[in-house]
Structure 1
Amino acid sequence: MTKVLVLHSVSLLRSALVALLKSEGAFDVFSAGWRSAARHVGALRPDVCVVDLDCPGAAGLLDGGADADRELLGAGTALLVLASAGRPGALRRAFEARALGYVDKHGSPHRLVRGIRKVAEGERFVDESLAFGFLEASRMPLTARELSVLARAAEGESIAEIARGLHLSNGTVRNYMASATRKVGARNRIDAIRISQCAGWV
């Protein structure tokens, strides 16, 4: 029987996903919030881990890339993400974290079930409805450093705080901010953050 772990920050949605998967009968399903994710993964050793890309906790997993993915999930666990085509940046980050399955969270439940079965067998699964999002993801204009500066700015950090956190000068941070603002076609820093968040880049 396929062992599935659902990671989600919202308890109600976790419970709904668990109930849906248990009704299929072919899965042994567990769930956890982000704070206890590592402990659950270590104890359960799931075949598949299901993650909603819109969860705040998902960013920590994906932003670390493949190394963070392997550290949290372990070598024997496949990552399947619930995604939206309108957030290409999140799709790109999931791809870089070596997610094997991509299910449209606005699609039908049977697609999620099929996706889990596929990735549990080591096969890639991508919903057709996410194809355009992947094309958009390939066009992300920002560098990793520009993304990290924007992400910290989105958390409310000042230029000086970002500079200290990233071990950069204030002027360098301003240059990255200006470059990111120009590349996304924003009017100012706040607009750049809004555009980047809507695209799922930060």
Structure 2
Amino acid sequence: MTIRIVVADDQALVRGAIAMMLDLEEDIEVVAQAGNGREAIEAVACGDVDVVLADVEMPVMDGIAAASRIRKEHPDVKILMVTTFGRPGYLRRAMEAGASGFVVKDAPSDSLASAVRKVMAGQRVVDPDLAAESLAASSNPLTEREQDVLRATSGGGTTADVSRSLFLSQGTVRNYLSSAIHKTGARTRAEAVVIARDNGWL
């Protein structure tokens, strides 16, 4: 049986290299490539797909958000997250979104093909070092709204900008920012964004 896969990564060179490498396997066929999560969803909707390899950090829609949508709309499709950033928070969020595996991009090429076969067979595949880190790491302390506000402020927008984009009062935005700064142990909102991203909470 041939495993039909979609490779989703916003870096064209990386995406092409992964696709070319997997196409060399006799039992794996890359049927589509996508540059973001939305394109991955469209590719799954348009074809007979078994597995989606999705990068975590992509523009328009990230891999975790795409994984959640794909699993809801196409429950038989397996999701394998492939990322440069082996962060425990990302692993936790990916598994909550329905991903069957999580591997880092610097893993040996044969292990990536093996991971595809394992998730297709219904197994869970997680990078062992990342799994150990995840067990030791603290869970995400931020509420959904605090995460939304940090994401909105990450581009350097003012409190008024964030207020307009999220349809919240400026006072409410300031409260969420203050709470997020306190929970992350940061001194500023910019530092809170960095800490939250480094932990995979955003």
* Normalised-by-shorter TM-score class: 0.7 to 0.9
Q: Percent identity?
A: 38
Q: TM-score, normalised by structure 2?
A: 0.87
Letter in 2 for 1:120: M
Is this contact kept in 2: 1:51–1:58, CA < 8 A? Answer: no
Displacement of 1:84 in angstroms is 5.3
Is this contact kept in 1: 2:184–2:192, CA < 8 A? Answer: yes
Report the 3-state secondary structure (helix = DSSP H, G, I; strand = E; otherwise coil) of the residue aligned with 1:36: helix
Deviates more, 1:20-29 or 1:162-171: 162-171
CA RMSD after TM alignment:
2.2
Instruction: Say if 2:31 is the partner of 1:44.
Output: no
| Deviation readout 1:104-156 (Å, 9 max, x if unpaired) | 22221222111110111222111212113322555222111111110111133
Letter in 2 for 1:91: L
Report the 3-state secondary structure (helix = DSSP H, G, I; strand = E; otherwise coil) of the residue aligned with 2:130: helix
CA distance in 2, matches of 1:86, 1:40: 26
Letter in 2 for 1:25: E
Task: Give the count of matched residue pairs.
Answer: 199
Report the 3-state secondary structure (helix = DSSP H, G, I; strand = E; otherwise coil) of the residue aligned with 2:16: helix
- 2:14 alignment counterpart: 13
Displacement of 1:160 in angstroms is 1.9
Displacement of 1:55 in angstroms is 3.0
Is this contact kept in 2: 1:86–1:133, CA < 8 A? Answer: no
Q: TM-score, normalised by structure 1?
A: 0.87
Instruction: Say if 2:77 is the partner of 1:74.
Output: no
CA distance in 1, matches of 2:84, 2:138: 15
CA distance in 1, matches of 2:89, 2:182: 17
Assess, with a 3 A threshold, how the Cα gap between structure 1 residues 65 and 139 changes in structure 2: closer, same or farther: same
Displacement of 1:93 in angstroms is 2.0
Instruction: Say if 2:154 is the partner of 1:146.
Output: no
Displacement of 1:192 in angstroms is 0.8
Matches within 5 A, 1:1-202: 1-30=2-31, 31-34=33-36, 36-57=39-60, 59=62, 61-63=63-65, 66=68, 68-70=69-71, 74-83=74-83, 86-136=86-136, 138-202=138-202
Displacement of 1:78 in angstroms is 0.7
Assess, with a 3 A threshold, how the Cα gap between structure 1 residues 127 and 190 changes in structure 2: closer, same or farther: same
| Deviation readout 1:136-188 (Å, 9 max, x if unpaired) | 55522211111111011113332122223323221111011011111111111
